[in-house]
Structure 1
């Protein structure tokens, strides 16, 4: 069979939200990328439902936030409701923090939207080539790159792609991870689940009490689009081929609903829960579900993958453009794998709690025991208090310098978030003007935020070849940032603080040495960082 050849700097495997985000980020960095996706088109299923505030901050930098919000549900849908059936009254409800309403910790608000509405916007955010229907079947590493063998699923034609690096975002059943023999840790498969997409007029029970998810004792209902459409998901029955899907949905709607569900599509899937034992194999790096499969309840999985891409792409760009050493890529796994484990622990705990409460509630209903006092809430407070997981992430690696030039101490923020400018943390959102945030100063460069730009400008003249911008920081923010009048924060391109000087720079080469250390680059003339 004839084999054609192609070359690219980064081969992205997988055309879901993580792969598409990586493609857009790499294009911003001027990195040539090729994305391949084994399916012939973007997924038609709703799948992931929540874009949290951190992902929206990333999409804002890509110019996508307004479009994503326009296609999403109104903020009042950022709420969870629990009922015995959909046509019953709520017996518990809670808001999704950062989605139901703005939060002071971010200039953006998360949204409830279906993945099939998000992906076309991500696809249109870059011009880099995409090959749908092209499946990766083999990988081989060479001294200066990776050779990937692709097959066109329609014609059978094969293509050999030579790439400097491979970014694998090909899902929980990742072909790349399996080819590399990378094992996983964690609970594994939590159960088989079926999603049924259907049409029905449910406004009578939902219009006045909107929600992004309605949990019931017989499965969960999700409104798909502002203009209509629904999905119901529940554990897959023993004989799915013979299942009466309209009947099962009808039971969950309730005997008094009086509407018939028109089933449009049925999808069976496995709720996985694991973290890969390694996120890197030489020049091949795993991201998103390929690196960590997070249960869907809580909406943390896709967002964690977007954060992976944001962490990784600036590092790939630095290495490919020559202002970072290959050792910088070691910090990707060091920084993101602990976050994946922390996220998985919370998602699994809350998934198990919800499933247990649903099981007990069904048993109560069968036995006729419906006393309101005996109704158990199906979640813990931590299920919705997610800002600590999405805004309070703290990195500890060689790509972060502590206040005394040493790596910062590890930190577990849990689900609470307290804005801080400690090295390793996301730069806090602080208003610089009524319309401009500190986050708006960040981009495809390192940002030095300081109340004394003139002094640090003299240092910046010696920072070639790193991309760097110096931005003024108003004095009213000094206390929160832990700075004095001549101090500075060095913020990495992914928005995390790489270094902090509380006051004057210790030497004329302070900034140069910090960038050299963070990027693992080689100083000129063998000068020690």
Structure 2
């Protein structure tokens, strides 16, 4: 007979980077959360390899960047190298812009680090309850209040004791992977290619320094699989299609052969993991009080390092909205904007990852054609993309939201919900490469210097931020508003780039996206209150 639990505000299902980031974000908002993970401990496998610049901006708000960087590789590892075998010279190479060196568009730099080094840092970032070895086996929404229940009743199974527990939560945040139990329980389907192929990761130790130490990279791409250094102090991983009869495979022999003839390297296999590369987007990200994030919402192929980072951006978008509902300053319609805003991003990211995969294969096809034509092994090839391609800053920093939680011109909600994501305020290009900073509502607030070495991004936190060259006037409007709000002086030298007069203002949401913009001082003394009520979908209550 299941026993009852004290309950929680948010039940997080899944203890990977997305679930752990959600837990840390909710803790900053003072939201009670319980995280359950069916495995008995954090994953020992390297899995995701890249924390991109936008994710590092989110982690900067959480005070985690120094800890992440301490376990990561030096920036020069932010590069991909293409070789015929690992001990050959590069025939092509590409930098991961925003990772291999700082970019002026951000105060932080991305990091090449293995997921098993990232997760302990995220776990230590909050004190909320965590239950490892505990699996969600049932989920029922209960109670009636309008069109949805008042809470969710989850049944959890402790794999250590066999004990079932029932937990009542106000909301469920499902970050339980591509084979999400929660998504299946909710009956939410997926669109896209689905399972693409089976792959195997072999973690091994070997002395490969004489081929790689002078030419560091986060990934070495060869026709015989991908090789990746795991940790600054040592260790490697080999990623390749799962062979037939994998249960009886000689993994040390397979890795040795993949290193190329004449390598003469002893390979000591540490662990082996089989996994499926998926490519899909859930048909919806919410049903009632249960919401999907990360791979549960969208499975993105690994080329380009977009999957985990997209999930981190999901919960950055979602957690402030959950906090607003739980703390009483947001209306229930605010949760609808989560899917409206993030669903188009997921589709676009999936398209980009498929494009990345085709471009990688194109490099290999060009190489084979070059060798058939009699080229020397040392000859380089022309890459099928521009040098700035792997920046993908338009996709990473240029995401724009179009929903009821964004006000056009600082006055009225957008009349085009779910219109998609953009990278340029004027042209709305969809290349994913170029990033044009803009303060147009819906876009990420650009990185601009403030006093004492701070960035405009440092003004963002567990509150709405009003950036203005006229803080005294806007402080008066702030009085008696129930929303968490801070007014931050904006230096006059930024007025042109922000599109403001000396009396204008930008209202930035807790996730760093511009929610409203007043180019000039608005008439009356209620513009800020009206904007906050509209953005948080609390207008019917706050303005009545």
TM-score (norm 1): 0.96
Q: Select 2:455's aligned residue among 428, 433, 437.
A: 437
Partner of 1:380: 385
CA deviation after TM superposition for structure 1 residue 255, in Å: 1.4
1:33-90 CA deviation, whole Å, 9 max, x = no partner? Answer: 0000000000000000000111111111111001100110000000110000000000
Q: Kindly report structure 1 stretches of 4+ aligned residues shifted beyond 4 Å.
A: 359-365, 367-379, 408-411, 522-526
Partner of 2:134: 134
Partner of 2:511: 494
Larger mean Cα displacement after TM superposition, 297-306 or 243-252: 243-252
Distance in 1 between the 2:284 and 2:367 partners? 40
Q: Select 2:243's aligned residue among 237, 244, 250.
A: 237
Partner of 2:412: 405
Distance in 2 between the 1:227 and 1:373 partners? 30
Partner of 2:302: 296
- Do the aligned partners of 2:92 and 2:380 also contact (CA within 8 Å) in 1? no
Instruction: Mark the runs of 5 or more structure 2 residues left unpaired by the alignment.
Output: 143-148, 424-431
Larger mean Cα displacement after TM superposition, 237-246 or 112-121: 237-246
Within 5 A, what are the aligned runs for 1:362-511? Answer: 370-371=375-376, 380-381=385-386, 383-403=389-409, 404-407=411-414, 410=419, 411-413=421-423, 414-433=432-451, 435-462=453-480, 464-511=481-528
CA deviation after TM superposition for structure 1 residue 406, in Å: 4.0
- Do the aligned partners of 1:358 and 1:378 also contact (CA within 8 Å) in 2? no
Partner of 1:282: 288
Within 5 A, what are the aligned runs for 1:263-342? Answer: 263-342=269-348
Partner of 2:84: 84
- Does 1:176 find its partner at 2:186? no
CA deviation after TM superposition for structure 1 residue 383, in Å: 4.9
- Do the aligned partners of 1:475 and 1:485 also contact (CA within 8 Å) in 2? yes
Partner of 2:106: 106
Distance in 2 between the 1:24 and 1:478 partners? 34
Helix, strand or coil for the counterpart of 1:499?
strand
Instruction: Mark the runs of 5 or more structure 1 residues left unpaired by the alignment.
Output: none
Distance in 1 between the 2:343 and 2:255 partners? 38
Helix, strand or coil for the counterpart of 1:66?
helix
- Do the aligned partners of 1:6 and 1:159 also contact (CA within 8 Å) in 2? no
Distance in 1 between the 2:2 and 2:182 partners? 23
Distance in 1 between the 2:249 and 2:117 partners? 29
1:272-330 CA deviation, whole Å, 9 max, x = no partner? Answer: 11100000001000000000011111111100000001000000000001000011000
Distance in 2 between the 1:364 and 1:476 partners? 53
Partner of 1:37: 37
CA deviation after TM superposition for structure 1 residue 241, in Å: 1.9
- Do the aligned partners of 1:324 and 1:521 also contact (CA within 8 Å) in 2? yes
Partner of 2:48: 48
Specify whether residues 304 and 102 from structure 1 end up closer, same or farther in structure 2 by C-alpha distance, changes over 3 A only: same
Q: How many residues of Structure 1 are paired with residues of Structure 2 in the alignment?
A: 525
- Do the aligned partners of 1:447 and 1:468 also contact (CA within 8 Å) in 2? yes
CA deviation after TM superposition for structure 1 residue 2, in Å: 4.2
Distance in 2 between the 1:135 and 1:307 partners? 25
TM-score (norm 2): 0.93
Distance in 1 between the 2:10 and 2:32 partners? 6
- Do the aligned partners of 1:446 and 1:468 also contact (CA within 8 Å) in 2? yes
Within 5 A, what are the aligned runs for 1:84-233? Answer: 84-142=84-142, 143-233=149-239
Specify whether residues 292 and 378 from structure 1 end up closer, same or farther in structure 2 by C-alpha distance, changes over 3 A only: farther
Distance in 1 between the 2:381 and 2:137 partners? 48
Specify whether residues 79 and 461 from structure 1 end up closer, same or farther in structure 2 by C-alpha distance, changes over 3 A only: same
Distance in 2 between the 1:76 and 1:374 partners? 23
Specify whether residues 508 and 2 from structure 1 end up closer, same or farther in structure 2 by C-alpha distance, changes over 3 A only: closer
Partner of 1:63: 63
